[in-house]
Structure 1
Amino acid sequence: MFVLSIIKDTIPIHPSQFGVPPEESLINELNKKYANRVLHDVGLCLCVFDISEAGEGKIRYGDGFLWYTVIFRMTVFRPFPSEVILAKVKSSDAEGIQLSVGFFDDMWIPLPYLPQPSAFDSNERAHFWLPGSEATTSHDLLDSPTSERMYIDQGEIVRVRVERDEFNDDEPGPPKATEGVQVQVETRRPPYTITCSVAEQGLGPVSWWKAGEEAMDEG
């Protein structure tokens, strides 16, 4: 789930920070620049792990900053495909389930990756699984007794398998309009999204499998 990525950059240190040890100043500036930022094809940067190499600070004409060329290792959040992780259900709608790991919310379970047969209960605002049912339509599933449904409720901790991740590089800018023509503003996509699945044994809310695991431990 967490990896170390090697990055090279040139970082300026303000004169007010000249009294601070250079390594500490560099780490502070690197965290300001990279923390909570998505790097394309790298992942979500969390914090600097360490500095591998740093050149001597050089002053450029006109600004008074000390500029350092540094090579450092960054702690990055990027789960690999097929990795099983724990997340919390943030919300649900007819399109699927949104997950969160606290510091990252752009995780999704689309309908094809839910356990089958399952349906969305608009009254409960949650998807449910009906194990052992032969129903093939959402209408039939919604006619089932609620006591037989296994809901994936908001706030529940779920065990999911990562299927894939995707980086989006949507360039911001004003919408283009032609005179007399109304242009719809397109919604920008998140820079980094993760698609997950709970369509396997052992996946889904941990409460579904807790009783079975306890029974095995006792056995």
Structure 2
Amino acid sequence: MFILTEIRDTVALQPHTFGFEPTEVIARELNKKYANRILQDIGLVISVFDLTKCGEGKVRYGDGCLWYKVEFRLAVFRPFISEVLIGKVKSQDEDGIRVTLTFFDEVHIDKSQLPAPCAFDSSRQKFFWAAQMEPDTKRTELMDSPFQERLYIELDAPIRFRVEGDEFYDDEPGPPKAAQGAKYDLTVSKRPPYRIFASIAGQGMGPLEWWAGVGQADEQNNEQMDE
């Protein structure tokens, strides 16, 4: 889930920090710059892990700062493909489910990555899994199924998911300028700079309550068979 990546940068220390240990001040300045930010094709930076190389501080002409060339490692959040994680359901709509990890909210589960057969109940704004029905059951039949047989995916419920992929998106240039004749719709929400795509199709995947007691039931069955 977390990786280390090495970065090079130049850090300026202000005169009022000269009385402190340079490496501590440098680490603090690097955290201000990188922590909780997305690095393209790398991931979400959590914090500075350590400094691997730090040169001597140099003064530039007309500048009272000490400038240090440093090499350091960052602790970065970027789960690998097929990694299994646990988060909480943040929201749902007809297209799928959004999951939060508390510090990261852009985990998306497309409706095609739900266990079959699943359907979206528009009256409750929730997906449900009809585990007792055949995987190819049509939505109309699913909506006629008894409520007591539906396994709903509740908001804020702990959910186990498998990472299927991720995507980076850089929109730093911003909207086109109106002077150039380009139109820009302010109502269109920006794409997040980093998204994770996940699945809950498979044994043990999905809300934790779906599988609560399954292990105990298996143990009891094994004990009965041994007897």
TM superposition score category, shorter chain reference: over 0.9
SS in 2 for 1:86: strand
Distance change in 2, residues 1:181/1:20 (3 Å): closer
Between 1:150-159 and 1:130-139, the stretch displaced more is 130-139
Between 1:118-127 and 1:160-169, the stretch displaced more is 118-127
Q: Which amino acid aligns with 1:69?
A: K
Distance of 1:203 and 1:192 partners within structure 2: 23
SS in 2 for 1:144: coil
Contiguous gaps of at least 5 residues in structure 1: none
Distance of 2:200 and 2:173 partners within structure 1: 34
Distance of 2:170 and 2:131 partners within structure 1: 40
Deviation string 1:46-83 (CA, Å, 9 cap, x unpaired) is 00111111001111122211111111111000000000
Contact 2:130 2:151 in 1 (8 A): yes
TM-score by length of 1: 0.93
- Give the RMSD, CA atoms, in angstroms: 2.0
Deviation string 1:78-130 (CA, Å, 9 cap, x unpaired) is 00000011111101111100001010001100011011110111222211100
Q: Which residue of 2 aligns with 1:31?
A: 31
Q: Which residue of 1 aligns with 2:139?
A: 138
Q: Which residue of 1 aligns with 2:167?
A: 166
State the number of aligned residues. Answer: 219
Contact 2:176 2:182 in 1 (8 A): no
Distance of 1:50 and 1:38 partners within structure 2: 19
Q: Which amino acid aligns with 2:20?
A: V
1:28 Cα deviation (Å)?
0.4
Contiguous gaps of at least 5 residues in structure 2: none
Q: Mapping of 1:1-219 within 5 angstroms?
A: 1-134=1-134, 136-177=137-178, 183-185=184-186, 186-216=188-218, 219=223
Distance change in 2, residues 1:180/1:35 (3 Å): closer
Distance of 1:92 and 1:29 partners within structure 2: 39
Q: Which amino acid aligns with 2:144?
A: D
Deviation string 1:162-193 (CA, Å, 9 cap, x unpaired) is 00011111234344448999653443211000
SS in 2 for 1:214: helix
Distance of 2:210 and 2:14 partners within structure 1: 55
Distance of 2:35 and 2:118 partners within structure 1: 38
Distance of 2:100 and 2:181 partners within structure 1: 43
Contact 2:176 2:183 in 1 (8 A): no
SS in 2 for 1:158: strand
